[in-house]
Structure 1
Amino acid sequence: LKKALMQNMFADNAFYPNLRFKGFVYKWKQYKLNDLGYTFSGLSGKSKKDFGHGKAQYVTYMNVFSNPIANLEMTEHIEIDNKQNSVKYNDIFFTTSSETPEEVGMSSIWLGKETNTYLNSFCFGFRLTKRIDSYYIAFMLRSPSFRRKMMVLAQGISRFNISKNKVMNIKILLPKISEQKRVGITIKKVDNTVKLQVKFINKIKKFRKFLLQNMFI
């Protein structure tokens, strides 16, 4: 169900989505990402000894890679450094490299409000200047149509990289904010259900493993 929603609830080149809520009939508008905000860099000028301690935190690469909506607890410690770019609520992060073109440029949105939080050096940030629903943009940037556009930008042989400037030239389609909210919250509810089911399945698997290890002589 989630896969079907991700494939059909975001408009592509036709300016209309395949699946739509009743009452929404207007054409979606096209924007370049560059029209919707500006980029900022992750941590810079750091060495290995700077990590693992301190009262600040940074968002890890795997957090961005794994979560359309960043896990607020998936951070690491670092010292406070006012020269670094602090992340803000609703910032979007993109990974800049990966081992395969299919996994390059993965995105995640930050919905935390903590201070002294930075972004890892293997990602770049994107700060919105236009009002866009958080859940909508989070899942739209992970939709098959957007991922295809991102994969085209992958460059490399043994490891693939993307150009920040080229990413900002990608065109996306946006409905009015009211439709964004309907789409975003719908997919978020389905996503929550998926996560709960995965947790339940993992618990059953652990219990099964426990039984297999202890019920036979």
Structure 2
Amino acid sequence: MKDKQAKYPQLRFKGFTDPWVQRKLGEVADIIGGGTPSTNVSEYWNGDIDWYSPVEIGNQIYIDESQKKITGLGLQKSSAHILPVGTVLFTSRAGIGNTAILAKEGCTNQGFQSIVPYKDLLNSYFIFSRTSELKHYGEINGAGSTFIEVSGKQMAKMPISVPSIEEQQKIGTFFKQLDDTITLHQRKLDLLKKQKKGFLQNMFV
């Protein structure tokens, strides 16, 4: 008989029967903030280290190049941290809850509380696929008088149910394939809209 306290999803892949375990996000990932080097010191800028701001997040699933870059010295002189490939960037202010997965290591400004999964406990695409839950939690638990912001400590307390890493990988792969298909069809749709616009402009007098 199944434990009533255990969590079992209604739909799951064949071969997985173990219950999902309730954890805190900070138990399966590091939550890392960012920082900004002084803009008055030219030696801190235009280097080769990607440095992301929240306005760059939201349109792509994977990102590998930022609009602005900093130098190694700029990194040392700020509270920014190098984040590894697979980190899920999470905007923590000025629009809480936009996410993207790092395809190349980089860092961020202070408008993030990025999620660095523990490889044996959390799959990057699995947690990325739960962006709506992350966003909802961040918005509810954010605070501030000038603008709402959620802290890294608060995000680390977020309760989350997780299955085995093998099941996470299976789920992550499934949703990645769906997202890839959606992206492909969106491109086709955009092309058709562009073609229609051209026809409308040229087929009437």
TM-score (norm 2): 0.80
Q: How many angstroms apart in 1 are the aligned matches of 2:14 and 2:70?
A: 51
2:138 touches 2:155 (CA, 8 Å); kept in 1? yes
Match of 2:101, SS state, is strand
Q: Which residue of 1 aligns with 2:51?
A: 58
Match of 1:56, SS state, is strand
Q: Which residue of 2 aligns with 1:210?
A: 198
Equivalent positions of 1:86-125 (< 5 A) are 86-98=82-94, 103-113=95-105, 117-125=106-114
1:137 is aligned to 2:127: yes
Q: How many angstroms apart in 1 are the aligned matches of 2:169 and 2:161?
A: 15
- Once the two structures are superposed, what CA deviation does each residue of 1:147-177 show, in whole Å capped at 9, x if it has no partner? 4333321335774322221111001111112
Q: Letter of the 2:129 partner, please give it.
A: F
Q: How many angstroms apart in 1 are the aligned matches of 2:96 and 2:200?
A: 40
1:193 is aligned to 2:181: yes
- 1:41–1:150 Cα change, 3 Å: closer
Structural RMSD (CA): 2.7
2:88 touches 2:116 (CA, 8 Å); kept in 1? yes
Q: How many angstroms apart in 2 are the aligned matches of 1:160 and 1:66?
A: 22
TM-score (norm 1): 0.76
2:63 touches 2:100 (CA, 8 Å); kept in 1? no
Unaligned runs of 5+ in 1: 1-12
Percent identity over paired residues:
24
Q: Which residue of 2 aligns with 1:39?
A: 31
Unaligned runs of 5+ in 2: none
**Structure in which a larger fraction of residues adopt strand:** 1
- 1:66–1:121 Cα change, 3 Å: farther
Q: Which residue of 2 aligns with 1:30?
A: 22
- 1:190–1:213 Cα change, 3 Å: same
Match of 1:127 among 104, 116, 121: 116
Q: Which residue of 2 aligns with 1:80?
A: 71
Displacement of 1:87 in angstroms is 1.9
- 1:158–1:201 Cα change, 3 Å: farther
1:150 is aligned to 2:146: no
Match of 2:67, SS state, is strand
Q: How many angstroms apart in 2 are the aligned matches of 1:61 and 1:205?
A: 29
- 1:197–1:158 Cα change, 3 Å: farther
Displacement of 1:106 in angstroms is 2.8
Query: How many pairs were matched up?
Result: 194
- 1:159–1:18 Cα change, 3 Å: farther
